[in-house]
Structure formats: C-alpha cells, structure tokens
Amino acid sequence: QVQLVESGGGLVQAGGSLRLSCAASGRTASSYAMGWFRQAPGKEREFVAAVSWSGGSTRYADSVKGRFAISRDNAKNAVFLQMNSLKPEDTAVYYCAGVSTLSSNYVPDRSRSYYYWGQGTQVTVSS
C-alpha cells in the first residue's frame, strides 16, 4: 500500500504562485508514475499534469501548459506542482495520484489509470 498526502494549498490572488507537494509513504520501493488532478465544485475531476517515475517524461493539460510545472524527488518520495500565473478558474481541490509501472515513460492522463490517491488540498484563487 502507498499513502499519498498533499500539502501547500491555500488562498492566493490571481497572478500569484503556489507550490503543491505530495509525500508518498508505505510501499514506495516500486516505480510509480505520478499525477495531479483537480476538481472544482460541480465539475468532474480533471487531469492537470503527470510525470513518469524516472522524471524524464511529463504531460500537461492544455489549460495549464506554460504556467504549471510538475517535478519529483524520488530520494524523498515526493512530487511537486509549481503553479504560476494562477487564475480564478484554477480554483479547485487538487489531488495527487500514483500508479505502479514498469515503463519509464508512462505518463497517464486518465484518472482511472491511477490506483493510489491522496485526500486533496484546496487551492483558491481570488480575482
């Protein structure tokens, strides 16, 4: 089992930045592709970004390209989401997700591809 805990959410003005962290614990010896998803009130959960277990491949939703950056530190079992130029439409609960994989370039963008999920952290962007 793997446990994922997000942190770093909060309230920020439009144009500001936040850095989300996801700490993994438990059975972390395997290789995991990691992703970030978000869910706004009344909307479905949507893909934000993903990174392969090697860190060599990344994928982003069109809505965040050029503004968000995903990274990971395997030595610390952590994944990060740097969010810049935040917009009110980025307001949502952000979830960290992980899936075990043998592929070093696997970066899934569908929620059903992930097995482990965190509890989420709220990000609110005021206009």
Q: Determine contact, residues 37/64, Cβ cutoff 8 Å.
A: no
User: CA 96 to CA 28: how far, in whole Å?
Assistant: 15
Give the Cα separation of 25 and 121 in Å (integer).
17
pLDDT bracket for residue 30 (50, 70, 90): low
Residue 77 and residue 29 in contact, taking contact as beta carbons nearer than 8 Å: no
Q: What average pLDDT is seen over the chain?
A: 95
Specify burial of residue 105 (Cβ count, 10 A radius: 0-12, 13-18, 19+). exposed
In this prediction, residues 67-73 reach a mean pLDDT of: 97
pLDDT category at 7 given cuts 50, 70, 90 is very high
Q: Average of pLDDT values for 16-42? A: 92
Mean pLDDT of 65-93: 97
Q: How far is CA 53 from the centre of its chain?
A: 13
17 falls in which pLDDT band (50, 70, 90)?
very high
Of the candidate ranges 30-34, 79-83, 93-97, the one whose mean pLDDT is the lowest: 30-34
At 1, the pLDDT band (50, 70, 90 cuts) reads confident
C-alpha distance across the termini of the chain, in Å: 40
